Amino acid sequence: MNDTRLPEPLFTTSVQPGWIDYNGHMNDAAYARVFSLSVDALMAAIGLDQDGRDRSSLTIYTLTMTIHYLNEAHLGEALSVTGRILEHDDKRLRLWFELKRDDGAISALNEQVLLCVDQSGYKPRAAPFAPDQIARIRAFHDADAHLPMPRQAGRGISLRKPE
């Protein structure tokens, strides 16, 4: 792995029996779970694995998550998630994930905004990432900064067709 890029794939799994819904394909909540587990992998890459959380008292809270469902995933199908950091500041990350099936088709897209939270006090509060963590975040962001913004990124929800 190149230390300036997020691991690729960031997360892999396969569609589990309990993830199949009444329509015979992966349930929407299972997609959210896969993307949540992908955030865990990203947290480890930036130094917020269990050891990093214990040392710094920092963790991540999800502020918003949007999932675009593109192609069904079925029982037993292998899945892989790639990710990139679209934006960041001292306390927040804006992430983009792509979930691919084993046939290479993109099954879903996911955008998230995460907040760094210090849990060391009486009440959790927003806090800057630790210096080593922000250094990794910057390196990962800079490695992909030349890529175009994903077309679906930043889209709100409405019934109107995009112009």
For residue 103, is pLDDT > 50?
Answer: yes
Is residue 39 in a domain? yes
Is residue 4 in a domain? no
Is residue 25 in a domain? yes
Q: What is the pLDDT of residue 1?
A: 43
Q: What band does 51 get if pLDDT is binned at 50, 70 and 90? A: very high
Does residue 24 contact residue 74 with C-beta atoms inside 8 Å? Answer: yes
Does residue 79 contact residue 26 with C-beta atoms inside 8 Å? Answer: no
| DSSP structure class, residue 51 | H
| DSSP structure class, residue 29 | H
Which of the pair, 1 or 73, is modelled with greater confidence?
73
Sign of the Cα pseudo-torsion (157, 43, 33, 10, in order): positive
Domain with 41, as residue range(s), is 11-144
Is residue 151 in a domain? no
Structure tokens at 44: 């480890």
- Single pTM value for the model: 0.92
Is residue 71 in a domain? yes
Q: At what angle do helices 131-144 and 28-46 cross, to 10 degrees?
A: 120
- CA distances to 46, 135, 158 from 36, in Å: 15, 23, 24
Structure tokens at 14: 């396969």
Percent of the chain residues past pLDDT 90, beyond the cut: 90
Q: What distance in Å separates the CA atoms of residue 7 and residue 143, rounded to the nearest whole number?
A: 12
Is residue 41 in a domain? yes
Residue 111 belongs to domain with CATH number: 3.10.129.10
Is residue 119 in a domain? yes
Is residue 90 in a domain? yes
What total of structural domains would you count in the chain?
Answer: 1
Q: What is the mean pLDDT of residues 2-18?
A: 90
